[in-house]
Amino acid sequence: LAKTTQPISMDSYEGQEVNITCSHNNIATNDYITWYQQFPSQGPRFIIQGYKTKVTNEVASLFIPADRKSSTLSLPRVSLSDTAVYYCLVVRGYGGATNKLIFGTGTLLAVQP
C-alpha cells in the first residue's frame, strides 16, 4: 500500500481558500486517491476521489500532478464548520479481494472566525 504523508495541522480563517497537500511517492499505476473528512465523535465522510489531473465537486477540488506522487485537496472559502480532520488515502484494488483501507494521522484543519 502506498504510504501517505500530510501535515499534522493547519490554521485558516473564514472565507479563505485552504489547500492540504498529501505526498504518496510510491503510488502505483492503478491506485486512486481518496480524501475523507472527520468531525469529532463521528465517522469519516467521503469528500472526493481522483486518479489524475483535476476533479471538482460541490464540496472541494482535488488536484493531482502528472507524476501522481502528491495530491492537493482544495476547500474554497472555508467556514467554521469546515473545522475537522482530513485524511488522504491511496486505494489499490486487489482484483476482487477487499482493500485494507488504512487511515494515517490526517490533517487537523482549524478555521478561525
Cβ-based nearer residue to another protein, 13 or 39: 39
Smallest separation (angstroms) from another protein to the CB of 47: 10
Handedness of CA 67, 63, 13, 79 (dihedral sign): negative
Contact call for residue 2 and another protein (CB under 8 A): no
DSSP, collapsed to helix, strand or coil, labels residue 81 as helix
CB 87 within 8 Å of CB 36: yes
CB 66 within 8 Å of CB 73: no
Smallest separation (angstroms) from another protein to the CB of 79: 22
Q: Which 36-65 residues touch another protein, going by CB under 8 A?
A: 36, 41-46, 49, 51
DSSP structural state of residue 14:
T
Residues binding another protein (CB under 8 A): 30-32, 34, 36, 41-46, 49, 51, 91-106
